[in-house]
Amino acid sequence: MTSTRAVSPPVQVTVADDRTINVDTVGTLCLDTLVYLHNSKFTRRIYISNVYIVPGLSVTLLSLAKLIQAGNTVRFEDNLWTVTRGKRRCPVLQAFEHNGVYAVATPEHQFRTAVVHAFAAAVQHESLMQAHRRLGHLNYDDCRHLALGTAVTDVNIARGPAPGKCTACALAKATIAHAPSRRTTDTTAAAAVCHVDLSGLVAKSYHGSLYYMVAVWRGYVKVYGLKTKNDATARTNDFLRFIERQASVPVSEIKVIRTDGGTEFRNQDFRRLVGAEGVRHQHTTRYRSRQNGVAERAIRTLTEMAAAMMIEARLPHYLWEDALQHAAYIRNRVPKRGQSQSPHQHLFGSTPNLSKLPVFGQSMAVRTPEEVRRKHFRFYGRGAVGAFVGFNEDTKGYKVYVPGYGRPIKETTDVIVLDTLLYDEIVLDDDASPPPEGGGEDDHQADELVDEAAIALPSSNGRDPSRMRDVTAILRDTSLPKAVVDAANGTPALTDRRRSERISAREITTSFLCLAELIREPLNMVEARRSPQWEQWRQAITVEIAALKANNPFTLIDLPPGAHVLNNTVQFRLKTGPDGKIVQYKARVCARGDLQIYMVDYIETHAPVADLVCVRVFFVLAAKLQTTIRQGDVPAAHLKADVKETIYVRQVKEFEEPGQEHKVWELNKALYGLKQAGRQRNIEIDNYLRGYGLKPSNGDACLYHMLIGGGLLLVCLYVDDILVAHTDQEQVLRLMTGLSMSSRISCFAAVSNTIT
């Protein structure tokens, strides 16, 4: 009560039990009420005048008639009535029906209700948090619906306020905060941020770079190739100096440099750089590189552009850095969506001119400098064909990739732009005049080889990069003269040659490619199971394991405690005959030598293998001396050699010994894949050949020779194959018999095909 006054004479008041009480005091009541409006809760303070103070009455009673007479409006809704006042009908008091009586909502009433509900929950029902935990941390709403519905019984949840966040749920159900779909800073603040990011590791570029870095400011992108990540600080400094000297916008407009959290940016040198420049360094949180989304998007855009250009041009992969820089050159001169100026014009104030922009990879006739031509190419043409790979902003000219002699990338202005890409087609001139008289035998041989290579070159009907790579591989592997390689690469031929009389057979290349793709050698056991030839491969594995057991290279034992054990892998190979048909499906069980520990599983590993030049020398000598040649094969060659170390290898999965799946192999002899297997095998054969009287040559330890029976006995070793040659076939048979008995070399026969 805020104020009271006496009433004379006293007023008689009749209460519910028919008692009459004399009231002699009237006052003004200050009442705090709770009003619920639009799903929100408000507290109102109202003053009610002419309130009778009745001694002994434990509750306060309000008369609706008196409230209406005082100018208020009363509205009834379901179990609620609301008292409003004024033109806006603002609610000032609300009462809820309870047991036939309307009770005014007050803060004290709410507190008492919460206490009662909590007490009732403790006595009769479980709390919402208890139900949440008992039901496997089910969300609160589903817990309530479960208690109110009929899907289950005896789930009683007490009414009351919702509990706070569950700590266990917060830890177990933590999610990634979604990145904003729109910029969260205004345009002015965003224009002051320079975004820098690094990407790699990539195969080494022509310029020696393994990584590349992009710096983005106001839409302008600059690409830098990096040899190491530590170069990021220096390249960032170069970008700031570039903007300072070249841009019409002052570098002081850069207020923030934003990077990811990599150590190439979070180091002392980078902190010293940003400190000297007076800019802030912002970095992303861990594993949240999208916080630097501008740089991330620039990397993706440039990478996709460069990849598309490289695919179309079919240039070597080591030109990726030039493709990236050319992509950045183009993006800087193209306005973004919704803008009328390009980033280059906005930053430097000049309108770019793209009228002389060639297609990346477009053919260009490049003039050879006179000084170089006189020294190396005096009788060639004055130019060479190359491919456009971009502009150098530090040099006034084109960057042109010219395969062949000298440095492949040349910077020059002496070019003639052609209408095709460099590798659109490869055409060897068949209309040239015959070679001049007196030409040497080597020139004629090179001319014939060029004719043969022309058959394997791709046709001009399509652009298949795989075919182009196949041609390059053919030219490389066959060690043709440089004239042939230059001709295939598009450089001028060394000599004029006669018109080829051979039938053009460019379709043969495609046919061979199709045959090669019919059956593919699996790379691992998973691919073998998915292969249509799985039954053949499974049989090959069974045969291989049976061969292993026949040679007794291992013993099945329980793995000793603490012993180091190696895993195994299976290699698959198709063995073909001279006509290219499949002769045998072969599987080879190998130990995982990459898991061997030095000084535990092995010590020395070197094993000599005959060089291809040595093999060619063997055949040259055999042909010159008109000898008989026999080729021997060592079945399971490495399994014949003993091992000194104790090595344990697991059994092949799904091919274990029944009932002994838990056991491992203790190797008695070497196994394919071991680091020392080749060495041990070579030592055994070398000891026998030296004991026979053969001596290794000084040029190659795998080529043995011996004068016997009036002729030269030659032996060449190549892994598990051996070649024997002598003019007297009896000498060959004698050595073959000895090798068969000592090293179990078999399958001696005439040479059908070789690796050369």
What number is the average pLDDT over the span 10-19? 75
Task: Please determine, for residue 731, whether its predicted confidence score (pLDDT) is greater than 50.
Answer: yes
Least confident of 120-134, 350-364, 663-677: 120-134
Average pLDDT, the chain: 77
Return the pLDDT at 348. Answer: 85
Reported pTM = 0.41
pLDDT above 70: residue 79: yes
Q: Give the per-residue pLDDT at 171.
A: 83
The tens digit of pLDDT for each residue in 99-119 reads 677 787 777 665 555 554 554
Q: Give the tens place of pLDDT for each residue, 427-451.
A: 433 333 333 334 444 444 333 333 3
Give me the amino acid identity at 588.
R
| Spatial strand order in the sheet of 664-667 | 554-557, 664-667, 648-650, 565-566
Task: Tell me whether strands 582-591 and 568-576 are parallel, antiparallel or unpaired.
Answer: antiparallel
- What pLDDT does residue 218 have? 87
Residue 471 has pLDDT above 60, yes or no: no
What is the number of alpha carbons within 13 Å of residue 405 lying toward its C-beta? Answer: 16
Asked whether 456 and 468 are in contact (CB, 8 A), the reply is: no
Q: How far apart are CA 716 and CA 612, in angstroms?
A: 11
- Give yes or no for a contact between 703 and 610, defined as CB atoms under 8 angstroms apart: yes
- Residues pairing with 630 in the sheet: 724
CA distance linking residue 515 with residue 533, whole number of Å: 16
Residue 664's pLDDT is 92
**Residue whose C-alpha is closest to residue 646's, from 566, 731, 586, 711:** 566
- On the question of a cis peptide bond just before residue 180, with omega within 30 degrees of 0, the verdict is no
628 to 577, 616, 700: CA distances (angstroms)? 22, 16, 22
Secondary structure of 332-356 in HEC code, one letter for each residue: CCCCCCCCCCCHHHHHHCCCCCCCC
Rounded mean pLDDT of 243-264?
85
Rounded to a whole number, what is the distance in angstroms from the first to the last CA of the chain?
Answer: 114
Which of 93-102, 627-636, 696-705: highest mean pLDDT? 696-705
Q: Cα–Cα distance between 48 and 27 in angstroms, integer?
A: 9
Of 494, 485, 376, the C-alpha closest to 426 is 485
Q: In Å, how far are 61, 80, 92, 357 from 36, measured between CA atoms? A: 21, 11, 10, 71
Who wins on pLDDT, 506 or 368? 368
Domain coordinates of the chain in residue numbers?
A: 3-105, 113-164, 189-348, 425-518, 525-749
* pLDDT of residue 22 exceeding 50: yes
Q: Look at residue 753 and give its three-state secondary structure.
A: coil
* Amino acid identity, position 691: G
Residue partners of 190: CB distance under 8 A and separation at least 6: 183
User: Would the pLDDT of 141 be above 80?
Assistant: yes
Q: How far apart are the C-alpha atoms of 755 and 459, rounded to whole Å?
A: 28
pLDDT tens for 203-241 read: 999 889 999 999 998 889 999 999 999 999 999 999 998
For residue 627, pLDDT over 50 is answered with: yes
CA distance linking residue 742 with residue 43, whole number of Å: 105
The stretch 162-172 carries a mean pLDDT of 83
Q: How many CA atoms lie within 13 A of 680 on its CB side?
A: 21
Predicted confidence band of residue 92 (pLDDT cuts 50, 70, 90)? confident
Q: If pLDDT is split at 50, 70 and 90, which confidence band does 186 have?
A: low
Range in 511-520, 521-530, 662-671 the model is least confident about? 511-520
Give residue 376's pLDDT band: very low, low, confident or very high (50, 70, 90).
Answer: low
Residues 595-615 have a mean pLDDT of: 85
C-beta neighbour count of 641 within 10 angstroms? 22
pLDDT (average), residues 494-503: 46
Among 541, 534, 426, 398, which residue's Cα sits nearest to residue 486?
426
Averaged over 17-38, what is the pLDDT?
78
pLDDT of residue 510: 45
pLDDT category of residue 514 using cuts at 50, 70 and 90: very low
Long-range CB pairs of 643-647, under 8 A, 24+ apart, other chains included: 643/667, 643/668, 643/669, 643/670, 643/674, 643/676, 643/677, 643/680, 645/600, 645/601, 645/602, 645/603, 645/676, 647/566, 647/591, 647/596, 647/601, 647/671, 647/674
User: Is the domain defined by 189-348 classed in CATH 3.40.50.10860?
Assistant: no
Average pLDDT over residues 58-73: 78
